[in-house]
């Protein structure tokens, strides 16, 4: 078993607590140091490690203090987007592998700079697109690779979640100067990455419309409708919004998500709701190998774990650790995040009104 020391950065991120649970859960992680990306967040850091964090051996008010005060095998970073460049520049100067929260930067230019810094340091850069390890997603990818869908024609996706009022309109996630984009960049990006991964294809064109319609004083979009084309010729679309008013609050509320992923091909289709528990995959194919049962329903009950993403979240981080130790490409790399962000930037650029 690999024994590794982790540095976790960025208590301002809503996912910090989930990542801390993952590091606490994995037996490969023997020691955890936590630190702020900005010293003004010390209260958030202290609250996050107040209880039930026996592997946390030290905490620091800044990244530079943490890097000077300890020895680490990798960094799990989730700083605010506008702080990411400076944080990762310091980390890569110490030749440390990084597993970074998405979207990596505020835009594709920042994401590319971070990727280039990792390349120059010769270390592995991964990004937290853990949904690639969801067993339904992996089944869908294998289904398409086996030819059971025929030629992919269309991808339909939806990610509608709780409204802005339920998520604190004053949070930095709704300030463009801090994050770069809104619901498309924070949540829709997951479906963009899954679509790329399942189709095993690159998006070459994207356009769409975004809006800020919730009535609160925020500077990013709360709703988006986009369309895109793969290199293969298949087309796709995504609808996402902070819009549900009757589904409770918080960031980890299953009832507050209305989701869909559908892949349609010349021989059949696959579709499921990722936030359904347990998750039911509906599969159809007229491929000869499915002749005896052309319609099938498969139920996936996910393995339970306190880790962020459950058992498949554990598996994702474990594979990142193996990649980092061996100098291999991460299961979701910085370049994958750059591809997603490039597509999203294209949508933002296309969203120009005309009279």
Q: Does pTM top 0.85 for this prediction?
A: yes
CA distances from 34 to 9, 11, 214, 235, 310 (A): 6, 8, 36, 43, 22
Over range 311-327, report the average pLDDT. Answer: 97
The pLDDT, as a whole number, for residue 353 is 53
DSSP 145-185: HTTTT-SEEEEEEEEEEE-GGGG-TTSGGG-HHHHS-SHII
- What are the structural domains of the chain? 4-101+312-330 (3.40.50.720), 135-301+340-350 (3.30.360.10)
The pLDDT, as a whole number, for residue 351 is 77
Over range 138-165, report the average pLDDT. Answer: 97
Over range 44-58, report the average pLDDT. Answer: 92
Q: Which pair of structure tokens corresponds to residue 321?
A: 């650790």
The pLDDT, as a whole number, for residue 187 is 95
- Percent of the chain residues past pLDDT 90, beyond the cut: 92
The pLDDT, as a whole number, for residue 354 is 47
User: What is the pLDDT confidence band of residue 54, given thresholds at 50, 70 and 90?
Assistant: very high
- Report CA dihedral (119, 123, 129, 132) to the nearest 10 degrees: 100
Over range 350-354, report the average pLDDT. Answer: 66
The pLDDT, as a whole number, for residue 249 is 66
User: What is the pLDDT confidence band of residue 52, given thresholds at 50, 70 and 90?
Assistant: confident
User: Of 88, 15, 23, 27, which is closest to residue 53 (Cα–Cα)?
Assistant: 23
């Amino acid at each position: 078993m690999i024994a590794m020391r982790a540095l976790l950065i960025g208590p301002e991120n809503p996912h910090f607590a989930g990542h801390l649970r993952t590091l606490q859960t994995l037996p490969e992680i023997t020691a955890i140091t936590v630190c702020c990306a900005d010293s003004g967040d010390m209260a958030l850091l202290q609250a996050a490690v107040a209880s039930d964090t026996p592997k946390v051996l030290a905490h620091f008010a800044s990244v530079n203090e943490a890097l000077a005060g300890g020895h680490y095998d990798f960094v799990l970073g989730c700083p605010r987007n506008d702080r990411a460049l400076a944080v990762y520049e310091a980390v890569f100067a110490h030749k440390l592998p990084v597993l970074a929260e998405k979207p990596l930067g505020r835009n594709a230019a920042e994401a590319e700079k971070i990727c280039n810094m990792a390349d120059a340091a010769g270390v592995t850069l991964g990004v937290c697109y853990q949904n690639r390890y969801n067993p339904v997603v992996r089944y869908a990818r294998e289904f398409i690779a086996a030819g059971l869908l025929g030629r992919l024609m269309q991808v339909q996706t939806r990610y509608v979640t709780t409204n802005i009022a339920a998520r604190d309109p004053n949070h930095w996630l709704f300030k463009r100067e801090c994050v770069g984009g809104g619901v498309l960049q924070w949540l829709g990006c997951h479906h963009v990455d899954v679509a790329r991964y399942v189709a095993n294809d690159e998006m070459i064109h994207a356009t769409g419309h975004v809006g800020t319609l919730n009535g609160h004083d925020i500077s990013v979009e709360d709703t988006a409708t986009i369309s895109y084309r793969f290199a293969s010729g298949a087309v796709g679309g995504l609808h996402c919004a902070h819009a549900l008013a009757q589904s409770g609050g918080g960031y980890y509320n299953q009832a507050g998500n209305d989701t869909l992923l559908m892949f349609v091909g010349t021989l059949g289709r696959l579709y499921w709701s990722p936030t359904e528990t347990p998750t039911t995959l509906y599969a159809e194919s007229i491929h000869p190998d499915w002749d005896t049962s052309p319609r099938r329903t498969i139920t996936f009950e996910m393995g339970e774990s306190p880790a962020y993403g459950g058992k498949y979240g554990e598996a994702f981080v474990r594979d990142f650790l193996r990649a980092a130790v061996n100098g291999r490409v991460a299961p979701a790399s910085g370049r994958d995040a750059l591809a997603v962000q490039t597509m999203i930037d294209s949508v933002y650029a296309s969203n120009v009104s005309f009279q």
